[in-house]
Structure 1
Amino acid sequence: MMLAAALFGNLAADVVSHDDITELDAVLANWFHGYKDSIWTGPMLFITNTHDVLGVSLMATALGLYFYLKKARYWLICLVLAVPGGQLLNVMLKYIFQRARPSFDEPLLTLSTYSFPSGHTLGATVFYGLLAAYLVCVVPRWRVRILVVLGACTMVALVALSRVYLGAHYLSDVLGAMVEGCGWLAVCITACSTLRRRRAARISE
């Protein structure tokens, strides 16, 4: 959590001060925009459209129902805190930094909201991060655990790539959202784990 906060602070400071990363942002945004008519545009649109607020909310609802049926109470509480709370935190940060989105003559997407950090990437980071954390805790085989973590990282990376590819965000926007999501998820998991341990200690007394 502390590492995520430090990384986000440094990244946000670089964005506000228009440091070197903003130059890389512009170069990558223009480079990806040059491929807006390629065969990858369709898959990128599919990935980004399935990970908007509605898409992540539906996936989180399905996971929450699974936790409820499995009587995984603390994981359910963590999910309720992590996904909606993360989205609210992200909206607050957008209005704090008020960074304009990439601008092109013929954009693939036209959005009126602020750019930093990326909401799609934040949602994917929190949802897939929580799902991976749960599976790592319940799956005994370490090889499967590694595949779970790699799968979660791949999904987050694909969502982040789709946002940059489609010209909706800069590279620093999605990197900031990843770090923000990891930090917020660490807060939620730690809080729920602490609550579970204290409750177990009171019962055993």
Structure 2
Amino acid sequence: MRARTLPLQRFIQARLSPEGAFGLHLTVGLVLMLVAGWVFSGIADSVMEGGAVTVLDRTLAHWFHVHATVGFTRFMLAITWMHSAWGIIAMLTVFTGWLYRKRAYAWMLTALLAVTGGMLLNVGLKHIFQRARPHLDDPLLTLSTYSFPSGHTASATVFYGMLACYLITRTHQRWHVPLIVAAATLAVALVALSRMYLGVHYLSDVLAAVAEGFAWLAICVSGAASLRRHRAGRESA
């Protein structure tokens, strides 16, 4: 019996080991991806089946529309325009250019793959679900594309998540980590709020987008880290 379980024990130990290319960091990345994917699936099922979340969607959409003000609308428009596809590409260009100057080529390629791949993934998901955008009287902003999941929120999740991951690996002060995570979270929350406030997305759209972006980011970052460790191990062998 012990002989049969020994290979399984070795496999589990290897997956939980902080050493090696396919150890703990890859395991954590896969677990985070699966959890985020499960959250996304739950939200998507509720939306497609007209569950309780859709009632909350309509209630919040109406509340934001009724309580809109001129000044806050301008602020939300600035946030949402800054995180449009072109805005994200512009910020990604600056970020990857900085990484290139730092000779952080692996991080640069990971950022390019994560952000651009995440944007393409979101387009594919929109066409799979084909959810119509909120319908409001006298809307603040009108779009003809699909609503679920939010592209702005997903792109912001991946971009700011990627930036946070890089900064965390470069800081030597532990107290910097919660500040970096808080700043990235706030940035994503502002983008999500802008999409709901302007009436172009429901709450479930932005929540699903965060889950989608987090899942994609987890696999990109952990996969890239595993590849770097694997190559380093081969070169040192």
TM-score (norm 1): 0.98
Aligned match of 1:50 in 65, 72, 82?
82
Aligned residue identity for 2:146: Y
Deviation at 1:168, TM superposition (A): 0.7
The CA distance in 2 between the partners of 1:78 and 1:123, in whole Å, is 14
Deviation at 1:62, TM superposition (A): 0.5
Q: Deviations over 1:42-68 (max 9, x none)?
A: 111110010000000000010000111
The CA distance in 2 between the partners of 1:39 and 1:67, in whole Å, is 36
Aligned residue identity for 1:105: D
Q: For 2:148, what is the secondary structure of its paired residue?
A: coil
The CA distance in 2 between the partners of 1:54 and 1:117, in whole Å, is 18
Unaligned runs of 5+ in 2: 1-32
CA contact 1:77–1:192 (8 Å) conserved in 2: no
Deviation at 1:38, TM superposition (A): 4.2
Deviation at 1:36, TM superposition (A): 2.5
Aligned match of 2:106 in 62, 74, 94?
74
Deviation at 1:145, TM superposition (A): 1.4
CA contact 1:163–1:169 (8 Å) conserved in 2: yes
The CA distance in 1 between the partners of 2:124 and 2:190, in whole Å, is 24
The CA distance in 2 between the partners of 1:189 and 1:73, in whole Å, is 14
Q: Deviations over 1:116-164 (max 9, x none)?
A: 0000001110000000000011001111111111000000000000000
Q: Which stretches of structure 1, 4 residues or longer, exceed 4 Å deviation after superposition? A: none
Q: For 1:172, what is the secondary structure of its paired residue?
A: helix
The answer to whether structure 1 residue 97 and structure 2 residue 135 are counterparts is no
The answer to whether structure 1 residue 138 and structure 2 residue 170 are counterparts is yes
Q: For 2:230, what is the secondary structure of its paired residue?
A: helix
1:177 alignment partner in structure 2: 209
Q: For 1:198, what is the secondary structure of its paired residue?
A: helix
The answer to whether structure 1 residue 8 and structure 2 residue 43 are counterparts is no
The CA distance in 2 between the partners of 1:38 and 1:3, in whole Å, is 39
Q: How many residues align?
A: 205
Unaligned runs of 5+ in 1: none
CA contact 1:78–1:192 (8 Å) conserved in 2: yes
The CA distance in 2 between the partners of 1:4 and 1:142, in whole Å, is 26
Aligned residue identity for 2:160: Y
Aligned residue identity for 2:219: V
Aligned residue identity for 2:72: W
2:225 alignment partner in structure 1: 193
| RMSD of aligned Cα (Å) | 0.7
> Rg larger in 1 or in 2?
2
The answer to whether structure 1 residue 110 and structure 2 residue 135 are counterparts is no
TM-score (norm 2): 0.85
The CA distance in 1 between the partners of 2:64 and 2:136, in whole Å, is 11
The correspondence of residues 118-157 of structure 1 with structure 2, limited to 5 A, is 118-157=150-189
